[in-house]
Amino acid sequence: MLSSEKDLNDRFEALYKRKTENNLTAVLRQDRLPGTSAVADFVQLINLGDLSVEMDNWQILIIIPADTRDAVADLRYSFPDYNLRPGEGVRVWITSGDNEGPNLFWFYSSDIPNIKLPTDRRVYISIFNASGQLLGHW
């Protein structure tokens, strides 16, 4: 991680690290993409419970308030067939790439640019299970 990114990560963790009702913790961070020098934002979920969590069709919703009152952007991610075992984590990178192990990617097309979340205003994150039940919002 670049030293200039450490302050940003600390700030993101202080704002966004939360525990959901089913023993998952979530944090919004920024780091280097695996195997590259490129930097991207990601949502990391860690299973703090004793049971595996089947995350098939779970969703992450990120709402980004725009500079004006009326404009809002949102990003939705649906999990593929994914099993999060106790004590393990998964990173959902907010960029394009190929899913591999604990690194999942928001987009599959390389035509989609790396999306940078704003640092000058708060973004809102919600996590839903496959039934659409809200598990956590911050």
Percent of the chain with pLDDT over 90: 29
Query: Around Cβ 43, how many Cβ atoms within 10 Å?
Result: 23
Q: Is 86:45 a contact under the CB 8 Å cutoff?
A: no
d(CA 12, CA 124): 12
The pLDDT value recorded for residue 12 is: 42
d(CA 27, CA 15): 9
Q: Which amino acid is at 42?
A: F
Residue keyed to tokens 């809002």: 72
d(CA 85, CA 41): 23
Q: What are residue 3's DSSP bridge partners?
A: none
The pLDDT value recorded for residue 137 is: 79
Q: What is the pLDDT of residues 51-102, one digit of tens each?
A: 899 999 999 998 877 665 555 678 889 999 999 999 999 999 988 888 999 9
Average pLDDT, integer, range 14-20: 47
Confidence bin at 1 (pLDDT 50/70/90): very low
The pLDDT value recorded for residue 93 is: 92
The residue that leads in pLDDT, 5 or 50, is 50
The pLDDT value recorded for residue 113 is: 59
DSSP state at residue 65: E
Q: What is the pLDDT of residues 108-119, one digit of tens each?
A: 666 565 677 776
Confidence bin at 16 (pLDDT 50/70/90): very low
Q: How many residues in the chain?
A: 138
The CATH number covering residue 100 comes to 2.60.40.1260
In the chain, the number of structural domains is 1
Segments forming the whole domain that contains residue 127: 3-137
